[in-house]
Amino acid sequence: MPRISVICPTYNRGRAIVPTLESVRAQTFTDWEMLVVSDGSDDDTDEVVAEVAAEDGRIRLLRVPHFGFQAGPTNVALPQVKGEAVAYLDHDDVWKPGHLALLADAFDDGARFVATRARKITATGTVTSVADPLTMCWHPELQLMNPLFENSCAAHLAGLAESVGGWRESEVGLEDWDLWLRMADAGVRCTTLLDVTVDMLDDPGTRQHSLPCAHDHEIARFEDARAARAAFRALTHPRHYQAGLDACRQDLLRWYGSLADAGELVLPRGWEGGPEALPEAIDRHLGAVRMAWNNLIIEPKDGYVALGMVLGTMTADHAERYSRYFRATMSHQQAFFEDALPAGSVVR
Q: How is residue 224 annotated by DSSP?
A: S
Q: How far apart are CA 71 and CA 78, in angstroms?
A: 10
d(CA 116, CA 194) in angstroms, rounded, equals 6
Given a cut of 70, whether residue 265 has pLDDT beyond it is: yes
Asked if 210 contacts 130 with a C-beta cutoff of 8 angstroms, the reply is no
Res. 215 pLDDT band, cuts 50 70 90: confident
Cβ-based neighbours of 118, under 8 Å, separated by 6 or more: 93, 130, 131, 149, 150, 152, 153, 196, 197, 198, 199, 200
Residue 10 contacts residue 18 (beta carbons within 8 Å): no
Q: What is the pLDDT of residue 266?
A: 97
For the cut 50, the answer to whether the pLDDT of residue 79 exceeds it is yes
The overall average pLDDT reported for the chain is 92
Residue ranges per domain, the chain? 4-207, 215-347
Q: Are 63 and 127 in contact (CB under 8 A)?
A: no
d(CA 90, CA 17): 10
Rg (CA), the chain: 22
pLDDT at 213 over 80: no
What average pLDDT does this structure show over 53-69?
95
* Helix, strand, or coil (residue 27): coil
Return the pLDDT at 293: 65
Between residues 164 and 234, which one has the greater pLDDT?
Answer: 164
More confident residue, 205 or 283: 283
Specify the pTM. Answer: 0.92
Mean pLDDT of 233-255: 92
Torsional sign, CA 250, 253, 256, 261:
negative
pLDDT at position 206, please? 55
Q: How far apart are CA 215 and CA 224, in angstroms?
A: 20
Answer whether 149's CB lies under 8 Å from 131's CB.
yes
Quote the pLDDT of residue 209.
Answer: 43
3-class state of residue 21 by DSSP: helix
> Has residue 111 got a pLDDT over 50?
yes
Do residues 84 and 4 touch, judged by C-beta distance below 8 A? yes
Please report, for residues 2, 12, 42, 267, 289, the alpha-carbon distance to residue 296 in angstroms, rounded to integers and kept in the order given.
47, 34, 39, 31, 16
Each residue of 129-140: pLDDT tens digit? 999 999 999 999
Whole-angstrom distance, CA of residue 301 vs CA of residue 315? 18
Q: Model confidence over 282-336: pLDDT tens digits?
A: 999 998 876 666 688 998 888 889 999 888 898 999 999 999 999 999 999 999 9
Q: Is residue 274's pLDDT more than 60?
A: yes
Q: Cα 166–168–172 angle (5° rounding)?
A: 160
Model pLDDT, residue 195 = 98
Percent of residues, the chain, with pLDDT higher than 90: 74
- The tens digit of pLDDT for each residue in 20-60 reads 999 999 999 999 999 999 999 999 999 999 999 999 999 99
Angle of the 331-340 helix axis to the 241-261 helix axis, nearest 10: 160
Whether the Cβ atoms of residue 116 and residue 34 lie closer than 8 Å to each other: no
344 pLDDT above the threshold of 70: no
4-207: in CATH 3.90.550.10: yes
The mean per-residue pLDDT over the stretch 187-205 comes to 92
Tens-digit pLDDT profile for residues 245-261: 999 999 999 999 999 99
Q: Is the pLDDT of residue 93 over 80?
A: yes
The distance of Cα 80 from the centroid of its chain, to the nearest Å, equals 25
Confidence of residue 198 (pLDDT cuts 50, 70, 90): very high
pLDDT at 124 over 70: yes
Read off the pLDDT band of 211 (50, 70, 90): low
